Amino acid sequence: MEPKNLFSESGIIITLLLIAIPIIVASILVIIKAKKVLKNFLKKKELEKFNEYIKNLSPEEVQKLELRKKQLEFSLSNNELAGDTTPIDAKGLIDNVREASSLRFIEQKKKSQARPYIEPDLTKLILWYLGCATFWLLFGTTVGEYVGIKFVAPDVDHYSWLSFGRLRPVHTNAVFWGWASLAMLGLAYYVIPRVSNVPIASIKTGYRTLILVNASVILGSLFLMAGINNGGGEYREYIWPVMALFGIAVIISLRNFYKTIAKRTTKEIYVSNWYIISAMMFLLVIAVIAYWPSWQNGLGETIIQGYYMHQGVGMWFMLFNLGLMYYFLPQQLNKPIYSYSLGILAFWIQILFYTLIGTHHFIFSAIPWWLQTVAIVGSAGMVIPVVAGTTNFLMTFKGSWHKLSGSYTLPFYLIGIIFYFTGSLQGTAEAFKFTNLIWHFTDFTVAHSHLTMYGIICFMLWGFIYTVVPRLTGKEPPQITVGAHFWLALIGLLFYTFPLMYGSTLRGLMWMEGTKSFIESVELMAPYWLWRAIGGSLMWLSHILFAYNFYVMVKKKEEIEIPSSPKDILNAKVALDNQEVTN
């Protein structure tokens, strides 16, 4: 094969531009910091000149300064109008005026909004969903952490049920169907009744869905570790009876949501409900197509695998989370979404193009060329909804950027939006012929899947959970551990993905040259897999902090409160007097 200039290829150029975006942002921050350092340096120089000046002051100048100092230090005695009598605050205007906030090492962020009225039964249901989702996040990523360690220490164990081939699908399916899906459904049980302005149709149906989803993930994980699987492609390793449980769960919740929306008191159906209901409908279509046996052999199985893998990510997780974002972002910023029309445009264009891109990872395969071409065109067309959605979200931020520094939830939203843009367009870049030739079958697709599923879906879900749980329970998470969760997850993701993308590019070029053996390409990846393990470890630690934060927000603990205000003290005295009379 003739050598090509990498930088003349469109896919490479787009990928470099996407990587450059966070680097440019970081460079701007470095420049701002450098300007501050330079400013301090100039101030020090100015201070040195000033010190020289005051050393050489004449006696007359010193006398004038002392006189001026005495004039400036003159002050009133502060009792000219009040006199010496004790002040009486009959109206309680200056109560607690002597209290002062203590100095804090961590900047105090804005508390969540006051809790709206939500039915106690619905509150309990939502918290059960989010609690189970948190458990599956910890379980699934603990398995993923162990799998990542196996890249560095492959002989760490010799048990068949702990082998990489069995644990890797346990990890991916647990975080897909256990963590992300349960979190999305739980948040939908909050959003759909609120935008419809009616109670949820059935609480019991919500619990049935919760039980079925948990049962499917438990059974699926046990079967996978026992070596019982679908034998198919990525993300559909669960056997069909297990996925049937998940499908039934989605069907009954879809009916529940549909009945709720049908009873809405508002004329229009808000865009969030468009996205959420469509995502659930698409998931059912995707699952039936993926598990129907008629086309599960030969080349047809590969085509269906590409369809299932991409539709699962784009038409279930992405569509669902975008619907949640259209509710939570305007609500957090206390302003309407920038453009309702852009949201509807992105919705229909995503349905048009994303459903066509299933085979864009199989360029130059035995799949019919027209189908490969359709996938490339569909991938390029995805630029439209991604740019429309990103513009809509960022323009909603316009005029409210100052709220970022005072919020512990909005940074999660913003990172999710940034990765929505960069991660999605990276998928477009991967669909081009030359880049597909380099990156397919390498760890680049692993990095890409984590940029999207983790950088977009997880960060958005965390932001939504930190937003809604304090409203349900009235308890805030510790802001220092929320900050630690955010930075460990973000830095860990960058440590995980950037080295893999770089190493995989080198590996793909090595394969294309054809001059070195396969095992040499494996040895090439060793240091990049080490970075993968380090980044994964940081991400895993962030999940432990998230679980702790969730526990703090939902734990039931009656704290002993000692009355401090006159009103509370008098009420306590009345209660004690009544208790003595009763006794």
pLDDT of residue 6: 67
With cut-offs at 50, 70 and 90, classify the pLDDT of residue 107. Answer: low
With cut-offs at 50, 70 and 90, classify the pLDDT of residue 221. Answer: very high
Q: Say if residue 479 is exposed, middle or buried (CB neighbours under 10 Å; 0-12, 13-18, 19+).
A: middle
Share of the chain above pLDDT 70, in %: 86
* Mean pLDDT of the 474-484 span: 91
Q: pLDDT of 18-66, one tens digit each?
A: 777 777 876 787 788 788 889 888 888 888 887 777 777 788 877 887 8
**pTM (2 decimals)?**
0.80
pLDDT surpasses 80 at 126: yes
* Mean pLDDT of the 424-449 span: 89
pLDDT surpasses 80 at 210: yes
pLDDT surpasses 90 at 209: yes
Three-state secondary structure readout of 127-177? HHHHHHHHHHHHHHHHHHHHHHHHHHCCCCCCCHHHCHHHHHHHHHHHHHH
Q: 149, 184, 153: which is closest to 167 by C-alpha?
A: 149
pLDDT of residue 573: 59
pLDDT surpasses 80 at 485: yes
Q: pLDDT of 245-265, one tens digit each?
A: 999 999 999 999 999 999 998
pLDDT of residue 583: 52
Gap between the Cα atoms of 43 and 41, Å rounded: 5
pLDDT of residue 164: 87
Give the count of beta carbons closer than 10 Å to the beta carbon of residue 10: 14
Instruction: Classify residue 177 by its DSSP letter.
Output: I
With cut-offs at 50, 70 and 90, classify the pLDDT of residue 576. Answer: low
Between 562 and 437, residue with greater pLDDT: 437
pLDDT of residue 451: 92
Question: Quick check: 233 and 216 in contact, CB under 8 A?
Answer: no
Judged by average pLDDT, the poorest of 10-24, 219-233, 259-273, 455-469 is 10-24
pLDDT of residue 75: 76
Gap between the Cα atoms of 240 and 376, Å rounded: 31
CA triple 532-533-538, angle to 5 deg: 100
Instruction: Classify residue 78 by its DSSP letter.
Output: S
3-class DSSP state for residue 511?
A: helix
pLDDT of residue 342: 93
With cut-offs at 50, 70 and 90, classify the pLDDT of residue 563. Answer: low
Gap between the Cα atoms of 538 and 275, Å rounded: 32
pLDDT surpasses 90 at 415: yes
Phi, psi at 94, each rounded to 5°: -115, 25
pLDDT surpasses 60 at 182: yes
Judged by average pLDDT, the poorest of 105-119, 200-214, 314-328 is 105-119
pLDDT of residue 217: 97
Phi, psi at 254, each rounded to 5°: -60, -45
With cut-offs at 50, 70 and 90, classify the pLDDT of residue 171. Answer: very high
pLDDT of residue 83: 66
**How many helices (H) and strands (E) would you count in the chain?**
21, 0
Gap between the Cα atoms of 34 and 28, Å rounded: 10
* Mean pLDDT of the 312-326 span: 94
Between 109 and 482, residue with greater pLDDT: 482
pLDDT of residue 18: 73
What mean pLDDT is reported for the chain? 86
pLDDT of residue 366: 86
pLDDT of residue 20: 78
Q: pLDDT of 344-372, one tens digit each?
A: 999 999 999 999 988 887 888 888 899 99
Between 453 and 54, residue with greater pLDDT: 453
pLDDT surpasses 80 at 186: yes
pLDDT of residue 419: 94
Question: Quick check: 196 and 266 in contact, CB under 8 A?
Answer: yes
Three-state secondary structure readout of 378-416? HHHHCHHHHHHHHHHHHHHHCCCHHHHCCCCCHHHHHHH
Phi-psi region of 92 (alpha: psi -120 to 50; beta: other; left: phi over 0): left
pLDDT surpasses 80 at 95: no
Give the count of beta carbons closer than 10 Å to the beta carbon of residue 538: 18
Q: 549, 485, 461, 544: which is closest to 182 by C-alpha?
A: 461
pLDDT of residue 185: 97
